[in-house]
């Protein structure tokens, strides 16, 4: 990511109209590269998200022995080394801003007999890694992190690793995925128990690549829980993967079309995995007109085209049980709530405090700076909307190197009187390099 800040002012726009596609799903793109590198044979990937986070994953897998190339037509090929075949990287693995790359690759390395050093940018280096370090240490991996359990971090994998049963104290798809990836090269059965279902791309894709994996819904002492078991010493088989459009990227344009008068926008090929589609359910409950067209399945993932029209939204109390299915979309939901009628109440969002930034605090400060009425609570925000009146605007708002904060405040600028200044749009390249260009095209 560029070290030079790129400030920009986003101003009120005309209606968002026409048809568009957002880049490929980031979660699936990461996992396609990792699993392709751990498979035997040639994996082809169409629609890979070519943001900086995903490219960091590609570079790391290359450094550990996989051959990864991009064709002129945008198709990526991965020649894997097989589970257990990773090589010692010659240099530190630079994760940039990508928490997903870091945590999942720590899982991959944990059950290989190699040592790897992980580094990252200032934002990533402030993020805690303890939730991943603890279970992987139980499997035998050894860690030397920086004070506070952060990057830079050195780890030594364990061969053979020890299978564990890990009950996650907090729902986290990244921690779950790290343990399952470590379990691929671990003799026996590695088990993860999660209190609520988190995004399940890892489970779907591990099965697709040939891993033996079982998922069971059970009644635990504190209510329903989800049990995932993966059988070790796995042999993965190369696949041809078509990556659907990222629902987290589509979220910004969905909210923009809902809050900008006169908008009627079609977003094609959006992934609608039920563990990721919570935002659409919440926005519909708020009165948003979002139609699902041509629903279909691509590579085991549900996909549809979305038609989104300007709507007068109203505040609701968001069910905290939905949080895992829309955890990355809350910043832009807060923008929608700011111009809705009445009060929107969110809770159960402790996870947002340990993302690229403390997204609860940062969004509360940013929205207040542009005229929104926001109360910050320990685990959520309470936002009293304007009833459809544009926000005053202002800034510059501080994004704290967080791509989703930058994009959310850009969308807020479209529904403001005086525009919204963002201190740095450079972080957007980590997940959505074409965001500003597409926004200009749709909102001109």
Residues belonging to the binding site for phosphoenolpyruvate are: 26, 99, 127, 174, 359, 404
DSSP 221-255: TTEEEEEEEEESS--EE--EEEPPBPHHHHHHHHH
Return the ∠ at Cα 276 (arms to 421 and 389), rounded to 5°.
35
* CA neighbours closer than 13 Å in the CB half-sphere of residue 224: 6
The CA distances from residue 127 to 18, 132, 273, in Å, are 39, 12, 27
Say what the alpha-carbon torsion angle 265, 271, 276, 278 is, to the nearest 10 degrees. Answer: 30
Return the ∠ at Cα 167 (arms to 162 and 168), rounded to 5°.
110
Say what the alpha-carbon torsion angle 230, 236, 237, 240 is, to the nearest 10 degrees. Answer: 70
Q: If you ran DSSP here, which 8-state letter would residue 212 be given?
A: -
**Alpha-carbon gap, residue 8 to 3, rounded angstroms:** 16
Q: Which residues are annotated as a binding site for 3-phosphoshikimate?
A: 26-27, 31, 172, 174, 328, 355
Active site residues: 328
The CA distances from residue 21 to 18, 40, 100, 102, 291, in Å, are 11, 32, 23, 28, 16
DSSP helix/strand/coil, 55: helix
């Amino acid at each position: 990511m560029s070290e030079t800040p790129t400030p920009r002012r986003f101003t009120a726009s005309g209606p968002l109209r026409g048809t568009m596609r957002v880049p490929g799903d980031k979660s699936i793109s990461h996992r396609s590269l990792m699993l392709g590198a751990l498979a035997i044979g040639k994996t082809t990937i169409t629609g890979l998200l070519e943001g900086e986070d995903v490219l960091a994953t590609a570079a790391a897998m290359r450094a550990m022995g996989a051959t990864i190339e991009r064709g002129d037509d945008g198709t990526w090929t991965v020649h894997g080394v097989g589970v257990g075949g990773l090589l010692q990287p010659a240099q530190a693995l630079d994760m940039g801003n990508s928490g997903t790359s870091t945590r999942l690759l720590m899982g991959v390395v944990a059950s290989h007999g190699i040592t790897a050093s992980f580094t990252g940018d200032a934002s990533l280096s402030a993020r805690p890694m303890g939730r991943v370090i603890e279970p992987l240490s139980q499997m035998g991996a050894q860690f030397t992190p920086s004070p506070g359990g952060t990057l830079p971090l050195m780890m030594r994998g364990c061969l053979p690793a020890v299978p564990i049963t890990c009950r996650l104290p907090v729902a986290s798809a990244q921690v779950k995925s790290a343990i399952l990836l470590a379990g691929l090269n671990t003799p026996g059965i590695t088990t993860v128990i999660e209190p609520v279902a988190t995004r399940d791309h890892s489970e779907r894709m591990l099965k697709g690549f040939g891993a033996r994996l079982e998922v069971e819904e059970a009644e635990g002492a504190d209510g329903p829980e989800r049990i995932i078991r993966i059988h070790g010493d796995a042999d993965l088989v190369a696949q041809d993967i078509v990556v659907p459009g990222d629902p987290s990227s589509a979220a910004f344009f969905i909210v923009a079309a809902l809050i900008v008068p006169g908008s009627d926008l079609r977003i094609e090929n959006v992934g609608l995995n039920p563990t990721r589609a919570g935002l659409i359910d919440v926005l519909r409950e708020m009165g948003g007109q979002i139609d699902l067209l041509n629903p279909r399945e691509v590579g085991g993932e549900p996909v549809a085209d979305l038609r989104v029209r300007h709507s007068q939204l109203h505040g609701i109390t968001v069910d905290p049980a939905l949080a895992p299915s829309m955890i990355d979309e809350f910043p832009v939901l807060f923008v929608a709530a700011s111009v809705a009628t009445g009060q929107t109440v969110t809770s159960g969002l402790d996870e947002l405090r340990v993302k690229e930034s403390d997204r609860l605090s940062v969004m509360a400060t940013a929205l207040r700076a542009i005229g929104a009425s926001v109360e910050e609570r320990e685990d959520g925000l309470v936002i009293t909307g304007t009833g459809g009146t544009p926000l005053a605007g202002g800034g510059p708002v501080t994004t704290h190197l967080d791509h989703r904060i930058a994009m959310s405040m850009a969308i807020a600028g479209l529904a403001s009187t005086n525009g919204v200044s963002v201190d740095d749009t450079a972080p957007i390249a980590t997940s959505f390099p074409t965001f500003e260009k597409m926004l200009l095209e749709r909102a001109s």
